[in-house]
Amino acid sequence: MNKLGMNMFVWTMSMDEDLAETLSFLKASGFDFVEIPINDTNLAKWQQIGQQLADVGLDVQACTLCSHDYSLISSDASVREAGVNYLKSIIDCASLAGATILMGPFYAGFKVFTGRPATADEWKWSVEGMRDVAAYAQTKNIVLAIEYLNRFETYLLTCADELVRYVEDVNHPNCRAAFDTFHANMEEKNIGDALRKVAPYLVHVQISENDRSTPGKGHINLEEVFTVLKEVDYKGPIAIEAFGPNPPELAAATHIFRPMFESPEQLAVDGLAFIKKMNKRVIERKSEAIVS
């Protein structure tokens, strides 16, 4: 059975707030884990958060991204080196928090564009840097889950084909793939086929609607997603990712300025119920097919 989780972005970008009630609520609501954003390298902070999560009884995965200052595809070798070192520090923090997966689009600077396609050098720089980062992640028992984004947020990896090529080029057991339905909905001809392509490397799935609201309330064919996940025998974690008007700095980054849902708590409860319903429906359909 897949572990089901909730990304913390609807509450925080930093995990600096007092989230004790929220974490207890998520545990009581039936979530197995939370997906926490790690964007600073305060080791003591993340160790404390890891203990808090352990006390609540929630498993944890981590996510991060890189700014222009830490881009692995920068033409400046010192920036690329800084990016590798920064990601190693983030891995240290994720390990202290108890994470086994660090996911995200950290192969390039987030929302940093040149106005042209990625060059062969940019690809090579990112692959070489990520191979170094993956080797370090292995020493911390963390798997990197590389996430492709839509064309408005990056230009290095924007589809399943590119993601698979990237993972294969990095060629390290601790560099694997993540799949986010929001980005796939924008960039793929067929979400199911894209998921099948990524499946051999897949270690993390984010369920996110076309408008970043409650899973099941938008137009993405999530029943197809869960059908394919069952078809490829995916047993890894599945997290809900959504965004709302808060925190304000995240709303500005994601361009969400109207309410997407009644409350983060209601979104979490409804989203979890929807995922469980989808899983049950897919299992029942598979059983019926075997009987017939």
HEC assignment per residue over 214-238: CCCCCCCCHHHHHHHHHHCCCCCCE
Residues in the chain: 292
Instruction: Report the pLDDT value the prediction gives residue 292, as an integer from 0 to 100.
Output: 60
CA distances from 128 to 80, 168, 172, 203, 241 (A): 10, 12, 11, 21, 29
The encoded tokens of residue 150 equal 């839509």
**Amino acid code (one letter) for 57:** G
Instruction: Report the pLDDT value the prediction gives residue 290, as an integer from 0 to 100.
Output: 66
DSSP of 162-203: HHHHHHHHH--TTEEEEEEHHHHHHH-S-HHHHHHHHGGGEE
C-beta separation of 148 from 204 below 8 A: no
Instruction: Report the pLDDT value the prediction gives residue 291, as an integer from 0 to 100.
Output: 57
Domain edges within the chain: 4-291
The encoded tokens of residue 143 equal 């798997």
Which residues lie below 8 Å from residue 191, measured CB to CB, with a gap of 6+?
A: 181, 184, 185, 220, 221, 224, 225
Number of Cβ within a 10 Å radius of residue 290 = 7
- The dihedral region occupied by 143, where left means phi > 0, alpha psi between -120 and 50, and beta the remainder, is beta
- Parts of the chain with a pLDDT under 50: none
Instruction: Report the pLDDT value the prediction gives residue 251, as an integer from 0 to 100.
Output: 86
Please state the φ and ψ torsions of residue 276, each to the nearest 5 degrees.
Answer: -65, -35
Instruction: Report the pLDDT value the prediction gives residue 10, as an integer from 0 to 100.
Output: 95
Instruction: Look at the domain 4-291 and name its fold.
Output: TIM Barrel (3.20.20)
The C-alpha atoms of residue 36 and residue 9 are separated, in whole angstroms, by: 8
State the maximum Cα–Cα separation within the chain, in Å, rounded to a whole number. Answer: 62
The C-alpha atoms of residue 88 and residue 106 are separated, in whole angstroms, by: 12
Instruction: Report the pLDDT value the prediction gives residue 262, as an integer from 0 to 100.
Output: 92
For residue 24, the 8-state DSSP code is H
